[in-house]
Structure formats: structure tokens, C-alpha cells
Amino acid sequence: MQHLPFEIIAKQGQARASVLSTQRGDIQTPVFMPVGTQGAIRALSPQLLPQTNSQIILANTYHLSQRPGAHLVEKHGGLHKMMNVDLPILTDSGGFQVFSLKKSEITEEGVAFAYEVDGKKTFLSPENSMEIQQKLGADIAMVFDECLGFGIDKEAAKKSVDRTTRWEQRSKDAHTRSDQSLFGIVQGGFWPDLRKKSAKAICDIGFDGYAVGGLSVGEGHKIMCDVLDSTTPHMIWDRPRYLMGVGRPLDLVEGVARGIDMFDCVIQTRHSRSGIFYTSAGRIRMTDSRFRNDMYPPDTSCTCYTCSNFTRAYLHHLFRINEVLSATLATIHNLTWFAKFMSNMRESIIKGKFEEYRSWVHRVYPEKESAPPSNRTRNKKNKKNRKR
């Protein structure tokens, strides 16, 4: 394991502003990490990544182990070289993806499943997730855990938490790469006592950082906050904390309020492809006909490449004709916007104004955001356009 220096430079309540030092540079936290699931930030050429002010990105063990295969990534010299990205990278362990598959079979050894794309039978365990992640060569790897879903009874959840603890110990034992850090993951579903138990057990094993897993499974904002309330107080204070799979503005600020430092989410890039732009006046959908003649930039207070150079009318046109440049320009904006959103949040902690910032986020991004168009609708529309 590579020890990650982590310095908390300011705090307000549970919220903290810190510096996480990696071999590829310092990360100012709280930080949002864009997701490059399959070894690419979708629709974004890596040469444009620096201008979004992203500090660290994510990639997924589950997908990459199948395509293009861990061996091939290793042959490139790791993810950074294959993707041509100099930023720190974090890989998840595959746990979350594997457990969301319908036909996975869990034993003490690990999880057997059929890869969703081609049905290929595969097995993931703490040991081979570590082996794969060491081949991928990210700066931070994640332990292989069991992710609890909804509807499980408490007895089963208890057993799962115990097994996850054993799996995380096995992950640590199997992890040998000295230039890669390893984070543990706290599970425990929606039971405060199980969360507490898991937090203590995982912190006792000892990792470079600690994640809160098992959220972002459709539980809603309030339950997410409740789970964090019963989890983070039992996690080591002076190590980085990472809330997995969470990324709406309100979730981010409430996560930070509960002592979280790192976040990842696919909505920033996925919503970009559907025409959704995050702005300082709330979320807008560029495909709305009201933008057809709108000569303003997406967000007048944003200085990203897209906002500096293009009008809503032009972006509306690009989405309307189904031109993929629309996704690129939206991704540049949304990633830049979230990087700024997080750095402003950090500034507010340093200046003792976090509560004002938090109130602003609640005003502009209230709990009941209008739902984004589903991917299904979008695909249907695309098919229709192609046929004509």
C-alpha cells in the first residue's frame, strides 16, 4: 500500500477542507470525481480534461476486466498510459456492479456471475479483484465488498456485513502493489447499529481511506443523510472519506456536511448526453424549445469553454440534430461546473461560511428536482431521427 498524506486544513462542524497528496499531485477536497467507467470519460477527449479542473477520475474494475481486459491494460503500462490521463485515478472493485446483476451467486469465496454483455461466466473474489486492480494500476484501489440492496432482512444483512469485513481483510492481505493506495468500504444497509459495527471493523483493519458503500441504490436523499449520520461519526477522523456513487448537488453538500471528502457519480456525464446543464440558477434542459432562440450562454456566471463560446440556441440546435458534439460541449460545462461547485464549497468551509453555502444549494437545488429525461426516451428519439 502507498500511504496517502491527508491534511485537514479547515473544518466547520463535520465539514472539512483538506489536501490529499498522491504521487500524481495534490487533490483539494471536498472533490467530485468524474467517471470513466470503461476507460474513457464519455464524449471527452483526454486533452480537454485539464480545462474542466477535474482533479481525479474513476474507472471500473468490473467493466475493464471484461473489456478490454486487465491484461491488455497492464500491457499498456496501466490505465493512465492507455487512456493518456495524467490525473490520479481511482478504480472501484467491481463489488457494486456484480451485486446489481440478477444472476450472481455469492459464496464465502466470492461471486460467480455472467458478464452482462456477452454472458461469459466470470468469478470475482477479493483476491482477483486486487489482482485486476493492481494490473489496472490506478492510484487508489477499492476493497472487494458485498453491496447490500433494498429488501434484505436484518439477519442476512448482519451476515453480509461480517462477510464483507472478512473480504476486506482478504483484500488487504492480497494487495501488494506499493505504489497504489487501498480504501476500505463501510457497509451495513440502513441499520445504524450495523453501520456502526461495520465502520469500526473496517477502520480496525486499517486502510489509506474509507468509503461509505451501499448508498445510491434508490434510497432517496433523506435516508442517505440518515445513514451518513449513523456512519461517519464512527469512521477515523483524519483519513479521507469517500461516499460512493453520489453526485447530485444537494447530496454533495449534505455529504460534506457529514464529513465526506470524495464523491463520484455518473450523472454529470450521463446528463450531459441528454442535454442537461447544471447552472448557478438550477438545472436546465437544453433540448427545451424555449432555448431555440436563446442567445445567452448555458450559465452566465460560468467561465468554461462552452459557456465562453457558445449560445444556448446553438447548443439546442446541436442536440436537436443529434450531433455528438453536443455531448462533448455539455460534458465540458458540467464537469467544469461541478469542479467549481466543489471548490466554492471548500472555500466556504475555509472562510467559515459553509452554512450559507449549504442554504444556497438547498435553494437552487432542492430535494425535489425535476426528473431528467430517461435514457430510454432519448434513445427512442435518436432512432426516430436516424430513420427520417
Instruction: Please report the sign of the dihedral spanned by the C-alpha atoms of residue 12, residue 215, residue 44, residue 373.
Output: negative
What is the pattern of x (binds its own copies, CB under 8 A) and - over residues 331-350?
-x------------------
Nearer to its own copies, 156 or 325 (CB): 325
The CA dihedral of 48, 53, 56, 62, to the nearest 10 degrees, is -50
Task: Check residue 174 for interaction with its own copies (CB under 8 A).
Answer: no
Site for its own copies in 269-298 (CB under 8 A): 292-293, 295
Out of 11, 24, 42, 283, the only residue in the binding site for its own copies (CB under 8 A) is: 42
Stretch near its own copies under the rule CB under 8 A, chosen from 41-49, 92-100, 164-172, 360-368? 41-49
| Residue 300: all three cell numbers together | 452566465
CA atoms of 353 and 95, how far apart (whole Å)? 37
Out of 76, 158, 221, 285, the only residue in the binding site for its own copies (CB under 8 A) is: 76
Nearer to its own copies, 78 or 259 (CB): 78
| Residue 224: all three cell numbers together | 442517505
Task: Please state the separation of Cα 308 from the chain's center in Å.
Answer: 27
Task: Check residue 54 for interaction with its own copies (CB under 8 A).
Answer: no
68 cis-preceded (ω within 30 degrees of 0): yes
| Residue where the block lists cell 486544513 | 9
Task: Check residue 75 for interaction with its own copies (CB under 8 A).
Answer: yes
Q: List residues bridging with 276 in a β-sheet.
A: 285
| Cβ 72 to its own copies shortest distance, Å | 6
Task: Check residue 312 for interaction with its own copies (CB under 8 A).
Answer: no
Out of 15, 83, 246, 335, the only residue in the binding site for its own copies (CB under 8 A) is: 83
Long-range Cβ contact pairs of 97-101 (< 8 A, separation 24 or more): 97/60, 97/62, 97/63, 98/62, 98/124, 99/146, 99/147, 99/149, 100/147, 100/149
Catalytic residues: 92, 264
Asked whether the beta carbons of 183 and 129 are under 8 A apart, the reply is no
Nearer to its own copies, 63 or 195 (CB): 63
Nearer to its own copies, 3 or 388 (CB): 388
- Which amino acid would we find at residue 140? I
| Cβ 308 to its own copies shortest distance, Å | 9
CA atoms of 60 and 91, how far apart (whole Å)? 5
CA atoms of 223 and 215, how far apart (whole Å)? 9
Task: Check residue 100 for interaction with its own copies (CB under 8 A).
Answer: no
Task: Check residue 384 for interaction with its own copies (CB under 8 A).
Answer: no
Contacting positions for its own copies (CB under 8 A): 38-48, 67-68, 72, 75-76, 82-84, 116-118, 292-293, 295, 305, 309-311, 313-314, 316-318, 320-321, 323-325, 327-329, 332, 379, 383, 386, 388
